[in-house]
Structure 1
Amino acid sequence: MTASQAVPPGNVHVASARLAAATLARRFPDATIVNVTSRGEQPWVRLSPFYPHGGIPVPFTPGVTSMSVEGVWQALKVLDDADVDPAKLAVAAMRGIKRAPHRGGTVRGHRRGLHGTELLAYEQARREIYLPTYLFQLEHRAADEVARLRDLALAGPVVLLDYTVNGDVTDLSVPLSHAALIAAHLTGTWPQDAVPTAG
């Protein structure tokens, strides 16, 4: 994205999808409200990392793709009682993707590729797996929706709704907000040290 295409940061906001419509209207008068969660309406639901676009490259795994970004994230997750789960790459619904430890176990990390030997810690996995994979979705699978959002945000304030509003990659206490990443993409402030995904 060129500098001329970047949206002024003050024109894009991120808010909780759990807020009431009246609260949103009071906090963001005259703004366009866009729900980008998996429960959003078309076409904005296509910006959800759960959306099954197909053809999402799996980092560090040449020739392998996923139906969704979340499928990649969950497939490469390593638990105390289970290694990677390639079946998550083929999930074509926006449910049944998440994996959680059983019997009080923990997430050990994310494998650096389906067949990799290295386990990435949470922040590094965000940078090397999630960020580049979601950026690929925005640029190659949901480019039309991003362009429509950019036009809306250049014309006036836009509020992106998500279930978390954390846009800080280093804040590991809260899940990373994909709405915050969309805002970063629109405003030209995407984390610069994320590893690019080929595809």
Structure 2
Amino acid sequence: MPIHIASRRRSAASLASAFPGARIIDVTSKAQQPWVRMSPFYPHGDIPVPFSGGAVSQSVEGIWQALKVFEHHDVDPGKLRITSMHGLKRTVRTNGPVLGHREGLTGARLLPYEEARRQIFLPAYRWVLEHRVADLVAELRAADGDVVLLDYTVNGDVTDTTSALSHAALIALYAQDRWPTA
């Protein structure tokens, strides 16, 4: 069951040429049901917020953005409640440079980017894969032939902080029992 990752921005012709006969599945927030459920923006609800004593979020992206700390703004618990898949992002343009991610909503420690990926994003996203989209993971594992997952980024290396981490790459790693270590 080979699972490949490709940019959602590629044309259908380019994808068909590069992956002949493969099943192409968009897993971004722009995807159709049921695959949109694999987006970190999707509001599954009750996703545990790491290091936060029982606090929960609607989405994984809500957790990631809520715990982000900027020069001019600390955590934003309001991001945990967003169900629209819009209005989640917090930017340096309005908040100043990113200082790190807080280790929990009230934690004293700021985690650097790679550590935040490992301690916040990976556990939250894995929880979704195991508790909210296990049916879709099972479908990928049972696929007959190649599958291509579309995402806006293709970086599947947690240590490569030069570009955003691809959740599609994480899906592929999880489905192939190769999840990154913490």
Q: TM bucket by the smaller chain?
A: over 0.9
Alignment partner of 1:106 is 2:97: yes
Tell me how far apart the structure 2 counterparts of residues 151 and 122 of structure 1 sit (CA, whole Å): 34
How many angstroms apart in 2 are the aligned matches of 1:108 and 1:101?
Answer: 10
Match of 2:157 among 168, 175, 193: 168
Partner Cα distance (1:22, 1:37) in 2: 19
Question: 1:151 aligned to 2:149?
Answer: no
Per-residue deviation, 1:151: 1.5
Q: Partner amino acid for 2:11? A: A
- Structure 2 counterpart of 1:177, which letter? S
Return the match for 1:183 from 166, 172, 177: 172
1:104, CA displacement in angstroms? 7.7
Contact 2:156 2:165 in 1 (8 A): yes
- Indicate the residue corresponding to 1:47 in structure 2: 38
Contact 2:152–2:166 (8 Å) recurs in 1:
yes
- Partner of 2:15, secondary structure, is helix
- Select the residue among 16, 30, 41 that pairs with 2:7: 16
Q: Are the equivalent residues in 2 in contact too, given 1:81–1:101 (CA < 8 A)? A: no
Question: Please, which runs of 5 or more residues in structure 1 have no aligned partner?
Answer: 1-6, 195-199
Partners of 2:169 and 2:40 lie apart in 1 by 13
The CA deviation at 1:102 is 3.5
Q: Which runs of 5+ in 2 are unaligned?
A: none
Partners of 2:46 and 2:95 in 1: how far apart? Answer: 34
Deviation at 1:70, TM superposition (A): 0.2
Aligned identity (percent) is: 60
CA distance in 2 between partners of 1:66 and 1:38 (Å): 17
Describe the shift of the 1:94–1:77 C-alpha distance in structure 2 as closer, same or farther (beyond 3 A): same
Change (3 A) 1:20 1:117: same
The two structures have a TM-score, normalised by structure 2, of 0.98
Match of 2:118 in 1: 127
**Matched pairs, number:** 182
Report the more deviating stretch, 97-106 or 157-166: 97-106
1:96 paired to 2:87:
yes
How far apart are residue 62 of structure 1 and its match? 1.4
CA distance in 1, matches of 2:118, 2:145: 31
Aligned to 2:26: 35
Corresponding position: 1:67 with 2:58: yes
